[in-house]
């Protein structure tokens, strides 16, 4: 896989990123994905950090800096978000397609063993990608995400119901810039996303023509048990339930979207060490130290497990 030049960033935005970050673009199945990288591959598994809607790799900047010493970290922007290519139609966005692109990126980077860190759509996108590459998953850290389909009788929240409305959804998502202009409303501490940080999330979606992804990813949330995302979510859940390796859950319980799902996710991943916090949906902005500690524990456990296998004479 060829590494291409990444799109330039304005100076004020570059100054918010860790100095040691390297940026590149990778063409995957005809789509250019923007990737940030820290460190180099080594004996420990690489750490892949996946964001969700409507953020980009910037979300992990503080967590990545805390995990950087001695580790290799890859932070892609999902297609349509950040500085990756931005298809113009919301219907382009499907869970299967995003998982296919991330899986192809992992193949191209030749990441043989990795710890997946996922939040929001980054959880199922990464899990579906790895479900067909299970031997690569050495550790798992999930935050405020879903891993499987909704239960029968579920009700979508107002935000996701809005995304299904014709005309109105296009107006609010494309013209008014929802939800990237309202990220602070999902936080435990609304002061955690303001000023230059809030501007950094809005900047990649500053042009109306580039705002298809927030609406497309919102529509990826099932509105029935026959929704196109259901088969992929079922594979995601089965993959998690079959996984027996090191794991951790770090949860923002003041998240108005996914804060109540911690127990359900933990039932599917019972070996995971749980860290419950008062953070909101974008908890990387509120509790980066707690997240980094969980990631480093899982990386250490995964590395020890690998060393144990190598030293086992059987």
pTM of the model: 0.97
Q: What's the order of all strands across the beta sheet hosting 247-252?
A: 3-4, 22-28, 31-38, 73-76, 46-50, 114-119, 137-143, 247-252, 273-277
Q: How is domain 3-311 classified at the CATH fold level?
A: Rossmann fold (3.40.50)
pLDDT confidence of residue 105: 98
Distance in angstroms (rounded) separating the CA atoms of residues 244 and 247: 8
Which tokens sit at 123?
């959880």
Cβ contacts of 114 within 8 Å, gap of 6 or more: 45, 46, 47, 48, 106, 136, 137, 138, 139
Q: Is the sign of the CA dihedral 166, 162, 144, 148 positive or negative?
A: negative
Distance in angstroms (rounded) separating the CA atoms of residues 274 and 244: 16
Give the closest residue to 54 by CA, choosing from 227, 212, 187, 197: 212
Q: Return the domain boundaries, the chain.
A: 3-311
Distance in angstroms (rounded) separating the CA atoms of residues 182 and 92: 24
pLDDT confidence of residue 310: 58
**Ranges in the chain, pLDDT < 70:** 308-314
pLDDT confidence of residue 311: 56
Other residues' Cβ atoms within 10 Å of the Cβ of residue 68: 17
Q: CB–CB of 217/52 below 8 Å?
A: yes
Cβ contacts of 190 within 8 Å, gap of 6 or more: 184
pLDDT confidence of residue 154: 84
């Amino acid at each position: 896989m060829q590494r291409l030049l990444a799109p330039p960033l304005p100076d004020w935005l570059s100054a918010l990123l860790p100095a040691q970050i390297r940026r590149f673009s990778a063409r995957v199945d005809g789509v250019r994905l923007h990737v940030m990288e820290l460190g180099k591959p080594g004996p420990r598994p690489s750490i892949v950090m996946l964001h969700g809607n409507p953020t980009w790799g910037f979300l992990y900047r503080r967590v990545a800096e805390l995990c950087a010493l001695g580790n290799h970290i890859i932070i892609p922007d999902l297609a349509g978000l950040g500085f990756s290519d931005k298809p113009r139609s919301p219907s382009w966005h499907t869970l299967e397609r995003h998982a296919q692109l991330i899986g192809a990126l992992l193949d191209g980077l030749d990441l043989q063993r990795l710890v997946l860190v996922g939040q929001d759509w980054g959880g199922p996108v990464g899990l579906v990608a790895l479900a067909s590459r299970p031997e690569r998953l050495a550790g798992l850290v999930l935050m405020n995400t879903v891993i499987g389909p909704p239960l029968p009788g579920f009700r979508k929240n107002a935000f996701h119901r809005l995304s299904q409305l014709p005309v109105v959804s296009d107006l609010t998502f494309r013209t008014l810039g929802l939800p990237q202009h309202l990220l602070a409303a999902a936080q435990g501490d609304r002061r955690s996303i303001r000023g230059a940080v809030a501007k950094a999330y809005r900047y990649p979606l500053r042009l109306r023509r580039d705002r298809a992804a927030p609406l497309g990813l919102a529509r990826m949330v099932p509105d029935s048990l026959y929704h196109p995302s259901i088969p992929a979510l079922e594979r995601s859940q089965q993959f998690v339930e079959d996984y027996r390796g090191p794991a951790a859950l770090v949860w923002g319980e003041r998240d108005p979207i996914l804060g109540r799902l911690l127990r359900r996710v933990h039932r599917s991943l019972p070996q995971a060490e749980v860290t419950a916090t008062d953070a909101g949906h974008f908890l990387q902005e509120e509790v980066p130290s707690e997240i980094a500690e969980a990631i480093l524990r899982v990386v250490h456990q995964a590395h020890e497990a690998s060393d144990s296998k190598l030293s086992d004479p059987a």
